[in-house]
Amino acid sequence: MRITPSILNADFARLGEEIARVPSADALHIDVMDNHFVPNLTFGLPVVERLRAATTAMLDIHLMIEHPDTWAPAYAEAGAESVTFHLEAAAAPVRLARELRARGARAGVALNPATPVAAIADIVGEIDLILIMSVEPGFGGQSFLDLVLPKVAAARRLIGGADIWLQMDGGIAEATIERCVDAGADTFVAGSAVYHADDPDAMVRRLRALAEARAR
Ligand code: DX5
Ligand code: ZN
């Protein structure tokens, strides 16, 4: 069970200090938004390059951008260990996944709530992470969408025993993580739950403990 805190709800004026507050994280989830694929704008490659220089933590990049075929490989070249693009935005997902792997990154594919898992059934051998959005992407602090849980279960059946991480993102908190484990997820983004907690690192450990206990 992996907990990957999203810095979307961190203080962007103090990012270095903010990422240092979650040493127990399995990876730092970095939400890149372009104001086109989603109606919000965060940061891009220059900030990710500075984060890369600032930490040895695994960087898990979530690209909520148009034209990922053009922009995603540079995040792998910058040293991110995992780069996830949205299936809805990719022109050639197989080619892009291969380009990410060739640059040493895990290749992730994200699915919006309305996108079925069947859309990636034939390309699952090309990817290392499936991200199931449990909110519409663009903002932190939204309510968890239970309607995606059957899709998580479908993704788990598709993955079987392969080394493909099954990540969920959106509304993950103490109240929702156990039903995600039940559906088969093993990797959890938590933004507001972690960064609005009094002790963010304690919340990372709490969420992991809940998930691991539920998985037994
Ligand atoms: C939303 C982002 C998420 C966001 C999650 O589009 O992809 O990673 O930070 O925030 P919470 O955990 O608050 O839903
Ligand atoms: Zn995200």
Indicate the pairing of strand 165-169 with strand 187-190.
parallel
Spell out the domain ranges in the chain.
2-215
pLDDT of res. 39: 98
d(CA 212, CA 134): 20
| pLDDT tens profile 81-102 | 999 999 999 999 999 999 999 9
CA-angle at 45, arms to 69 and 155, nearest 5°: 50
Half-sphere exposure of 125 (CA within 13 A, CB side): 1
Q: pLDDT over 90 for what percent of the chain?
A: 99
Report the DSSP beta bridge partners of residue 83: 61, 107
- List, for the chain, all residue ranges whose pLDDT scores fall below the cut of 50: none
- For the Cβ of 62 lying below 6 angstroms from any atom of ligand 1, the answer is yes
Ligand closest to the CA atom of residue 142: 1
Tokens of 74: 């540079």
Question: Which one, of 126, 108, 125, lies nearest residue 58 by Cα?
Answer: 108
pLDDT of res. 175: 98
Report CA-CA distances (Å) from 210 to 22, 131, 169, 207. 17, 20, 17, 5
Q: 71, 48 in Cβ contact below 8 A?
A: no
Ligand closest to the CA atom of residue 134: 1
What would the CATH number be for the domain defined by 2-215?
3.20.20.70
| pLDDT tens profile 114-135 | 999 999 999 999 999 999 999 9
pLDDT of res. 14: 96
pLDDT of res. 134: 98
